[in-house]
């Protein structure tokens, strides 16, 4: 897996290199790669995950309930990345207080799809597009999130070149406890 993302406050150990190829128009670019060998580069935590896993993660500090933040970044996902029916988070709003994701953008079963863990996607109409509409292009992500039980989220993924919206998702209500 190869993932390119722009984030000025990135700290990653071992799998990070500076710069992207000239065909990817992202300044201050970092390229992160994991091996295709699922038995290598495993994140083993204390306490451990039920199963060790590979991960690439840019994470904010844990934020207080009621605090609002706006995040923007650019992202490039190569079309050679495969999917399965298991989760592969491209983005997640995480609740440290609840110990899990609240809303994610996943590459799963050939799609780029929003998954909402706090609400039913049949009620909120979580958007999805074919993964081929997401890969091999620079995408621009804008997310405004208010963390906590009375939170809200507005998340837009657009084509960085044309500005066309690829996915948009807005919800109010539970956004976890102590978010990141």
114-130 confidence digits (pLDDT tens): 999 999 999 999 999 99
Q: Is residue 7 part of a domain?
A: yes
Output the pLDDT for position 5. 41
How large a percentage of the chain has pLDDT more than 90? Answer: 46
- pLDDT range class, residue 9, cuts 50, 70, 90: very low
Report the DSSP beta bridge partners of residue 17.
31
Mean pLDDT over each residue of the chain, to the nearest integer: 80
Output the pLDDT for position 7. 38
Across the range 134-145, mean pLDDT stands at 94
> Is the pLDDT reported for residue 142 higher than 60?
yes
Output the pLDDT for position 79. 87
Q: Is residue 131 part of a domain?
A: yes
Q: Give the per-residue SS3 of 37-91.
A: CCCCCCECCCCCCCCCECCCCCCCCCECCCCEEEEEEEEEECCCCCCCCCCCEEE
> Is the pLDDT reported for residue 8 higher than 60?
no
Output the pLDDT for position 10. 37
Q: Is residue 50 part of a domain?
A: yes
Output the pLDDT for position 61. 77
Q: Is residue 118 part of a domain?
A: yes
Q: Is residue 15 part of a domain?
A: yes
> Is the pLDDT reported for residue 16 higher than 60?
no
Across the range 144-149, mean pLDDT stands at 94
> Is the pLDDT reported for residue 25 higher than 50?
yes
Output the pLDDT for position 94. 87
Across the range 147-168, mean pLDDT stands at 96
Q: Is residue 180 part of a domain?
A: no
- Among 34-38, 67-71, 154-158, which is the least confidently predicted range? 34-38
Domain count across the chain = 1
Residue among 124, 115, 180 at smallest CA distance from 148:
180
CB 111 within 8 A of CB 131: yes
How large a percentage of the chain has pLDDT more than 70? Answer: 72
Range of the domain at 117: 2-175
Phi, psi of 176 (to 5 degrees): 75, -175
Residue-wise DSSP of 94-118:
EETTTTEEEEEEEEETTEEEEEESS
Q: Is residue 161 part of a domain?
A: yes
């Amino acid at each position: 897996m190869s993932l390119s993302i722009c984030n000025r406050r990135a700290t990653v150990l071992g799998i990070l290199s500076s710069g992207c190829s000239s065909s990817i128009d992202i300044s201050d670019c970092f390229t992160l790669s994991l091996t295709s060998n699922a038995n290598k580069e495993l994140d083993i935590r204390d306490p451990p995950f039920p199963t060790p896993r590979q991960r690439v993660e840019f994470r904010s500090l844990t934020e207080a309930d009621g605090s609002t933040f706006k995040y923007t970044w650019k992202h490039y996902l190569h079309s050679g990345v495969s999917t399965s029916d298991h989760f592969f988070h491209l983005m997640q709003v995480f609740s440290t207080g609840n110990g899990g994701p609240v809303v994610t953008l996943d590459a799963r079963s050939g799609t780029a799809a929003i998954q909402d863990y706090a609400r039913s996607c049949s009620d909120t109409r979580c958007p999805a597009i074919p993964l081929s509409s997401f890969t091999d292009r620079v995408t621009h992500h804008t997310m405004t999130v208010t963390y906590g039980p009375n939170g809200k989220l507005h998340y837009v993924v657009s084509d960085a070149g044309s500005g066309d919206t690829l996915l948009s998702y807005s919800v109010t209500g539970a956004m976890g406890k102590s978010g990141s």
